[in-house]
Structure 1
């Protein structure tokens, strides 16, 4: 792609502004290319490990009663399944505000993503609690599932149970303490075989100075919009469940 192209200009801008903006545009183009290169690497990953069991979740059925559903059933007509681990375990008085704001956004995306892949959010709370919260929140498209005590969160890092001693020591996590984490996992089904494809492992990577882990910023429009503003994200703002 040629990088020498006619540039835009807005009313009354200064030469200094245009020079700086053109330099930023070049950086944005480079970032776009790097983003696509990373996405291509993600798509080219070899097959991951086969899931160790057909996990049983709970959902609200057609008669508004809880019903069990196996992981293999969640794919529907698709070969790919996305599961987002929602930090809303039974020990919490309320859900994680960070997860909640992201799911506010994903509820809109859930109109469209299921045209290509199955999409659910899962949490450890009972399904009645999750369904009530989704209704109160106005989530009309995103489907929530209860892990219903299965081993999915531990196996796929929806909580910290699977952290090794070395990982705990590196991150300053106490032994024996477990809490939820906002993990996005992708699975692929081929016949009767289900394999893990990708996970947002950046959740557990060391943070850069002055930043949260930002593991799922590339699907989060709230942070993306704020990053376009002169004020940026700020040092004190974090989404809340209510304002």
Structure 2
């Protein structure tokens, strides 16, 4: 269904009355609550505008460094199978788009399990992959051998994300998302093709800021943002790798 059809066929939209909008409180809300909530609305609008200003600043970055068209390894689209393996070039990950988003999963070549927080991110990214790939190339990348990466995907129930192994390459070192002793840093990296078709790095968004403070990728996580709506906030909740694949008992 196209956007036009949304507005012409869906009763949830066609029955809309001009000037109406969702209320921010039930009728039982006190005047004290209403005043405080409207103050919060102003702060939320200010935050929205600041987020857009930062996004505009990001879009205005000068051309980034040129990247070689390296070759990696991937498997079939069906994540339930391990093979056949095939080579895939960085340029192919764009999948017909001029831009590419990569999530760098912390799955070390000597590990069989990935970082729990990284896995939480990819749990969500797997669900929205079909939306992302309408506008940009998208891949999840790790230096672990491809069979290990795909086995981890199956253990998490991932079905759609494009998984790429960088094993045997220095690509992560070139980007700066691997440490001097082989540690891995969680990050999103964005790349684009310029007018001459060269691949250029656009930006890297790591989990930590350069000064070591955290929450560098929070805006990309629905989990943390939804927890922020709770009266109790985020609490001491930490992701882990033991959640069952089945829905929670209701």
State the TM-score, normalized to the length of structure 2. Answer: 0.81
Secondary structure, in 3 states, of the residue corresponding to 2:189?
Answer: strand
* Aligned residue pair count: 218
1:76 CA drift (Å): 2.0
Q: Does 1:238 align with 2:242?
A: no
Contact 1:55 1:151 in 2 (8 A): no
Q: Does 1:194 align with 2:199?
A: yes
Q: Does 1:80 align with 2:84?
A: no
User: Structure 1: where are the runs of 5+ without partners?
Assistant: 162-176
Distance in 2 (CA, whole Å) between partners of 1:66 and 1:237 is 38
1:216 match: 217
- The structure 1 residue matched to 2:51, chosen from 35, 38, 44, is 35
Contact 2:178 2:185 in 1 (8 A): yes
1:185 match: 189
Distance in 2 (CA, whole Å) between partners of 1:8 and 1:87 is 40
Q: Does 1:108 align with 2:127?
A: yes
1:215 CA drift (Å): 1.2
Give runs of ≥4 in structure 1 deviating > 6 Å.
none
Contact 1:84 1:185 in 2 (8 A): yes
Distance in 2 (CA, whole Å) between partners of 1:139 and 1:71 is 22
- The structure 1 residue matched to 2:73, chosen from 43, 52, 58, is 58
Contact 1:157 1:183 in 2 (8 A): no
Distance in 2 (CA, whole Å) between partners of 1:6 and 1:181 is 41
Change (3 A) 1:204 1:24: closer
1:152 match: 171
2:9 match: none
Q: Does 1:44 align with 2:60?
A: yes
Contact 1:98 1:240 in 2 (8 A): yes
1:202 CA drift (Å): 6.1
